[in-house]
Structure 1
Amino acid sequence: MRNLPNDRVEPRGSAADMEEGLPEVLLPPLAECVTAADAVAGIVYLAEPGGTRLRAAVIQGSVPFVFGMPDSMSTDAPHASAAAWRTGELTVVGEPTPEPGDPTFAHVIPFPYSAASVPLVREDRRYGALTLVRLSAPGDEWPLSPARRARLRAVGERLTDRLDVLAARGTAIVTGPTTLLVPTSSRGDAGTAGAARDWGVAGVDASGGLSLMYQVHKLSTGLTRVTGLAEITSAVAERIMRPFGAQCAVVGQITDGRLWITGSVAAPSGVVRELHGAALTPGTAWADAALTHFPRFFADRAELRRRYPGAFDGDPTQNGWAFLPLSVGGRAVGVCCLSFAQERALDIEEQAALMMLADLLASAVERARLGAYEHVLAESLQRTLLPRALTALPGVVTTARYVPARTDTGLGGDWYDVLELPDGRIGLIVGDVEGHSTDSAIVMGQLRTAVMAYAQEGHDPAAVLGRAGRLLGDLDTELIASCCIAFLNVEDGVLETARAGHPAPLLRHCDGRLEPLDVVAGAPLGITPASGTNSSTVLPPGATLMFYTDGIHVPGTGDVPAAALRLLASADGDLEELADGLVAAAADGRDDLALLLARYEGAVAGASRRIEQLEIPRHDLRGVADARRFVRTCLERWDTPEISEALEMITSEAVTNALIHADSDVDVRMREYDDRVRLEVRDSDAHPPLPSAMSVSDEDEQAQAEHGRGLVIVDSLASTWGSSPHGRGKTVWMELRSGEPDAPGADGGTDGAADGSAER
């Protein structure tokens, strides 16, 4: 590109040559204005036909500022370029500052700036505007001197004259298909010198800015693979914290008017505590950045204190600070905070690059938030379709697990059920609808309901499968399913079983011997004709049945993993611990998994092995006292009052914490054995007992710790206890042996727990 004299335009040999010459006409006056006004960037906007939008023809400036310039805007916009085009007057404005919480506002340029725009207008000919941009405080206007204003007007007049000449020759004064970006030559101001020294190669024009843009490019590429907030924190450490020399970084998400820390790198716990859960109100650096959508940069601690007295008083190790707003569509979604151990004055190129990085982070945070929300909805749907709790019946002990596959939907078609039949038998059911989708989950819910209904009508297992198969064939779906149904007579141990395309249950004898039940395999449900054949087996007391779906199989073999088989053969203790071990040994995330364990205890004799149950509504802390009375009454009726005080204290702690933390109804069950009493507290939160509110600090490894739930007391009083997740929540179970004395000091600890004041 060659520069033309300011007083004439050389003729071209063709219209194509003239169109190619338009950038050459635009660039020299643009470069002159950028230099004269000491701007970081300049843009020549040309009006589109119809005069509804301005589009950038040439952008010149410091890299990476040129990447942040808008390439188009409406001619009705409140910005300097549009105002100059409309009025024909030199317009100097600061970037409009939105009212806090205004969802309609979106910044044109992603950093605080002032703009000066020269109209390219002549009578009825409105070509566009030449606009200059510089950094400034939010809302501040550019204090251009009268001499600089006069010079800018003169350049605008000359450029308009030349556009008149081109228009007279038939050249279309419109932007070409591509906006041209031109970096400025090496400048002597401190900002560019700093960028060249720290980021680029000395003496090479634009090397520093392009090196900054490399980080932007790499972060953009990396964030396309991010699916969770933890991965975003890792990307911040690699592409922002490390290149800019920050000592620590904190990423927070704004939800319900508060900042919740989602990840941090090397952040002191005092910094995290001050930010986590803080209200989004003006008056703090991070909140002001989020509310105005403008970053806040502080070269040292003294500068931060002058603007925000008392900020991070508890942590003197951090000096420089940068607070980057994360905004999507004019809505604040979070904040990224960087701190530096030494004084750190970020130059203009670094500030622009950080804001571009923040824009990328904002989109990633929002995607991760939406993904997490969708996953929660999927889990909620899955929990709704599975039984909230297994039916507790004398003569048999059951437990179940459900583990979803690692899929985008988090949904599957596996299910299980335990129900009491009208004739007194116990129904044990496991099924699997193919696929991992919403359709699979919906069909599973329909099929599960139908199987339970047919079983309650009194049909035998094979007949239930036949009816369920015909129903599935009538549904508007191409999905097929497998199912195994067993009806157990507790009085004589007779087990009647049928299966349709499903793995045969495993039977563990009292001596540890394993064998699959000899059950004829029928065709899967949904394949006509549906088939199933009843097979009978007599279970000895103490036998354990394992029903499962093919998520337990070794991929490609159809075999149960050897580790799971060894565990099942050797385990004759608690079913909850056995179920946990089997899931750990078999679940690999490739497929969803349902597991149902049932231990036959034998016929119920006399008054032994009784079961009692109490339901407590969610958030009803008065239910803690009801639970204690329930325990006391059961033990008195079972002639074991000697363990009443200890078990009441355990009940208080477990029920209180379930009500507070699980946000669900609570199911309390008591089961009598010959030598012990078992207490189970079930809720709908599948996570283990919750961590403290500050697990986001340096102690991230404690995120799933068992503290804060009063379980220290449970551990000290119970003979044995555990916490096990199942399909729709978890069970915290404890056992006390009959005849054990109460714990010392039990009287002093029960009243407070009854009032809901157990340790959190």
Structure 2
Amino acid sequence: MPPAAGNGEPYRSPPSPPSDVAAFEALLADALRQAILDLDSITGIVYLMEDNGEWLRAAMIGGAPPAIFAMPERMTSDAPYASSTACRTGTVIVFGEPVVRADDPGLARVVPFPYAVASTPLQAHGSRFGALTLIRIPSRVGLMSDEKRQRLRGIGDRLARNLAPLTEHCLPLPNTATPVLLPVFSSNSRQPCGQTTVWGVSDAPGSSGMTLMYQLHKLSAALNQATETHDVVVVARSRLMHPYRAQSLILNIVSDGRLWVAGHCGIASNHLRQFHGSSSDSPTPVADAVHGRDPLLFPDRAHLLAAYPGAPDDGQRAWAFLPLRSSGNPVGVCCLGFAEERVFEPEEQAVMMMMADLLGQALDRARLSEREHALAESLQRGLLPRILRDLPEMITTARYLPARPTVGAGGDWYDGITLPDGRICLMVGDVEGHGVESSAVMGQLRSAVLAYARENHGPAAILTRTSQLLAELDTELLATCCCVRMDVADGSAEVALAGHPAPLVRRPDGHVDTLDAPADVPLGVHSATPYRAYETTLTPGSMLLLYTDGLTPRQSSEAVAGVRTLLAAGSRDNERNLEGLADRLIASTPQPPERYDDAVLLLARYERAALDSQHRISRMEIQRHDLQGVRATRAFMRDNLRSWGRDAMTDDLELMASEVVTNALIHADSDVELRLRDYPDHVRLEVRDSDVSPPVPSSLSTVEEENAQAEHGRGLIIVDGLATAWGSSPSGRGKTVWLELSTRDGA
């Protein structure tokens, strides 16, 4: 047996000299034209045996589109196809007359219904060369009679006798890696009369097939750009539904034995209930199409009811149910509904099947991409802090904005902790790339930075040790990081950077500066120069902004200037909380597709409560599902406010706190943290939980219809009416609901 080629296919001898190749191709072309035209066929193929006799390969394919593009190029000599069978047995073989559906998937024909296949062996002087195969449409030209079979055998025998002299001194027969195509437009290539949907020019042979193939090409090009399930649905609507002039489209996916509607167009939502969530084994055309290989086509309602007596009337008059497969596995079903009765011509059916193959593969790719992105994003969010820790003398908030879904989750993170000696450490980092690996590396680095910080290492030492750790991990990813350690007693701060944007600070007078620490190299990069720290002193009222480069894409000077402007504007507005400022900063980030990276920001305002006897902070936690949590909240509010001399505000704040905490306990399904802050001119309450859904102060009916994912409760209307200001902002994997009440009558 000849050795195998490097790609796993059998070795083929080099082609014969050009003169032999030309004579060889002329013989094949003459035989194909005669067979196609004399026997009313749409396509003909000459299969020749390869070197070892175990394979048949298409040497030349003649005919008209679309069938000319649907022929198998290569098959084993013992395959259950007409060509292989004719070559083995030495007899004329006809499959598909009358058209039947094979029960054995191994016998399923590559050429889609309703084509029939007729094949004759190519053998002469005791040698087998291959087979001559024709594709026909029995419904148009009739069955292969005995007389037609004999004519086909005669054409094959003459071709074999003419090939024999070419092989006497040069075996095997000259053939190419890919077949040569021979256009042959017969009367069968014209548009059939009475067809509902007109493709091409009726009197021009081949026009309808080429028009159909044009649609297939455009569908393929559009699906190459589809990265999400929604994109596939949009492409199917524009490149399948509209060209076929269908009234409706439903794209179903199969998962865990059930069918789910991934997208639809042109059909009332009440008719979708029969599809969404139904069993893939139910006696419906959609379920049957999932397990089949051929489309289920119903030209009118009578045909549909004959096969499925209980089929509901959805207003359509004709249907096509196309199975979607990828790598041989069922992916879903594409359902097309038509406003008028129509006959599905064989050419349309062939292209439908080709389109279904492309849709199935694109849908499978999109779902895989979405699952990978969801996994990476879940991992990343799981590694972010649920809420920022209670930092003495400092108010903090953070925002995380993921990149566009097609990019995948990134490796941005943030954190803030109180160190054993009472100092505060703030950090923001960014692992390069997107996906599960970036999120996993981010989790390792975040844990390392926290551990080194708790050991009381300075920012420069923290980055040095973390960089060594990253270099030892089994990854080629790099990371950047900004680490700030601050002594809240005197405001001294150390800043160290590892290739990360320098933090910004807004002074109490509104001036914004950059803490110009040495940029140094990213984590994971070997450098003879150790990381260096920059020292500064912050006065009470200063605000720090740590961020990743996703907040300012490409680190353009205009983008950084815009962030500085927003940061400075907060002081001019005399803003007392960070939430609105954080929202405005994150809103300034470009939207997809301009934003390719995650964006993280961490805002921290240094207050040093000891400087003001009237600035006090109190904190409490309520465990998940604690039925006594609301009662404890009332007592917490009442005791603190009275001890601070805020008796006049107690009733209102106690009522608002109980409403907000009730919402958090009911909807967040997590522990709840309260922080009560006393300022000279107002009192502020912060309630933190792990649910990102915002609270909505509206009635149940409106919220259920328009804010299905939001917390709701009539009690929030009370908060909206009593509070001087209130709002909600995401914080890590949860949110913070805050409210403020100004002092009244000198209370």
Match of residue 151 from structure 1: 147
Normalization by structure 2: what TM-score? 0.79
Q: 1:86 aligns with which of 85, 88, 93?
A: 88
The 3 A distance-change label for structure 1 pair 478 and 242 is closer
Q: 1:70 aligns with which of 72, 77, 88?
A: 72
Match of residue 755 from structure 1: none
Kindly indicate whether the alpha-carbon contact (under 8 Å) linking 1:111 and 1:355 is maintained by their aligned counterparts in 2. Answer: no
Identical pairs, percent = 40
- Aligned-pair distance for 1:335? 1.9
Residue 201 of structure 1 aligns to a residue whose secondary structure is coil
Residue 424 of structure 1 aligns to a residue whose secondary structure is coil
For the residues of structure 1 that align with 2:511 and 2:706, how far apart are their CA atoms? Answer: 36
The 3 A distance-change label for structure 1 pair 99 and 707 is farther
The 3 A distance-change label for structure 1 pair 390 and 156 is same
For the residues of structure 2 that align with 1:738 and 1:717, how far apart are their CA atoms? Answer: 16
Which stretch shows the higher mean deviation, 235-244 or 416-425? 235-244
AA matched with 1:154: Q
- Aligned-pair distance for 1:321? 1.9
- Aligned-pair distance for 1:590? 4.2
1:496 aligns with 2:493: yes
1:582 aligns with 2:585: yes
CA shift digits 1:27-47 (9 cap, x unpaired): 255326742xxx554444333
The 3 A distance-change label for structure 1 pair 210 and 503 is closer
Kindly indicate whether the alpha-carbon contact (under 8 Å) linking 1:647 and 1:736 is maintained by their aligned counterparts in 2. Answer: no
Kindly indicate whether the alpha-carbon contact (under 8 Å) linking 1:643 and 1:739 is maintained by their aligned counterparts in 2. Answer: no
Kindly indicate whether the alpha-carbon contact (under 8 Å) linking 1:57 and 1:180 is maintained by their aligned counterparts in 2. Answer: yes
Match of residue 546 from structure 2: 547
- Aligned-pair distance for 1:214? 0.9
Q: 1:516 aligns with which of 500, 513, 518?
A: 513
For the residues of structure 2 that align with 1:270 and 1:437, how far apart are their CA atoms? Answer: 38
Residue 73 of structure 1 aligns to a residue whose secondary structure is strand
For the residues of structure 2 that align with 1:197 and 1:524, how far apart are their CA atoms? Answer: 65
Kindly indicate whether the alpha-carbon contact (under 8 Å) linking 1:413 and 1:441 is maintained by their aligned counterparts in 2. Answer: yes
Match of residue 250 from structure 1: 250
Kindly indicate whether the alpha-carbon contact (under 8 Å) linking 1:676 and 1:736 is maintained by their aligned counterparts in 2. Answer: yes
Kindly indicate whether the alpha-carbon contact (under 8 Å) linking 1:635 and 1:641 is maintained by their aligned counterparts in 2. Answer: no
For the residues of structure 2 that align with 1:626 and 1:84, how far apart are their CA atoms? Answer: 83
The 3 A distance-change label for structure 1 pair 196 and 169 is farther
Residue 187 of structure 2 aligns to a residue whose secondary structure is coil
Kindly indicate whether the alpha-carbon contact (under 8 Å) linking 1:299 and 1:346 is maintained by their aligned counterparts in 2. Answer: yes
Match of residue 533 from structure 1: 533
1:176 aligns with 2:166: no
- Aligned-pair distance for 1:582? 0.8
Residue 321 of structure 1 aligns to a residue whose secondary structure is strand
Kindly indicate whether the alpha-carbon contact (under 8 Å) linking 1:64 and 1:352 is maintained by their aligned counterparts in 2. Answer: yes
AA matched with 1:226: A
Match of residue 456 from structure 2: 458
- Aligned-pair distance for 1:97? 5.4
For the residues of structure 2 that align with 1:505 and 1:344, how far apart are their CA atoms? Answer: 67
Show the 5 A alignment for 1:466-477.
466-468=464-466
1:596 aligns with 2:602: yes
For the residues of structure 1 that align with 2:30 and 2:455, how far apart are their CA atoms? Answer: 88
Kindly indicate whether the alpha-carbon contact (under 8 Å) linking 2:503 and 2:514 is maintained by their aligned counterparts in 1. Answer: yes
The 3 A distance-change label for structure 1 pair 408 and 199 is closer
Kindly indicate whether the alpha-carbon contact (under 8 Å) linking 1:167 and 1:173 is maintained by their aligned counterparts in 2. Answer: no
- Aligned-pair distance for 1:87? 3.4
Residue 414 of structure 2 aligns to a residue whose secondary structure is strand
Q: Between Structure 1 and Structure 2, how many residues are aligned? A: 686
The 3 A distance-change label for structure 1 pair 111 and 705 is farther
Match of residue 682 from structure 1: 690
- Aligned-pair distance for 1:514? 3.3
The 3 A distance-change label for structure 1 pair 569 and 446 is same
AA matched with 2:604: A
Which stretch shows the higher mean deviation, 288-297 or 572-581? 572-581
- Aligned-pair distance for 1:198? 1.5
For the residues of structure 2 that align with 1:305 and 1:188, how far apart are their CA atoms? Answer: 32
Normalization by structure 1: what TM-score? 0.78
For the residues of structure 2 that align with 1:17 and 1:557, how far apart are their CA atoms? Answer: 63
**Unaligned residue ranges in structure 2 (runs of 5+):** 1-17, 642-649, 697-702
The 3 A distance-change label for structure 1 pair 99 and 653 is farther
- Aligned-pair distance for 1:275? 2.4
Residue 413 of structure 2 aligns to a residue whose secondary structure is strand
The 3 A distance-change label for structure 1 pair 164 and 306 is closer
For the residues of structure 1 that align with 2:243 and 2:78, how far apart are their CA atoms? Answer: 40
Kindly indicate whether the alpha-carbon contact (under 8 Å) linking 2:212 and 2:351 is maintained by their aligned counterparts in 1. Answer: yes
- Aligned-pair distance for 1:595? 0.6
Show the 5 A alignment for 1:30-45.
30-31=35-36, 34-35=39-40, 41-45=43-47
Q: 2:427 aligns with which of 417, 425, 429?
A: 429
Match of residue 165 from structure 1: 161
Kindly indicate whether the alpha-carbon contact (under 8 Å) linking 2:609 and 2:615 is maintained by their aligned counterparts in 1. Answer: no
- Aligned-pair distance for 1:421? 0.7
Residue 55 of structure 1 aligns to a residue whose secondary structure is strand
For the residues of structure 2 that align with 1:184 and 1:282, how far apart are their CA atoms? Answer: 45
- Aligned-pair distance for 1:263? 2.7
Kindly indicate whether the alpha-carbon contact (under 8 Å) linking 2:459 and 2:485 is maintained by their aligned counterparts in 1. Answer: yes
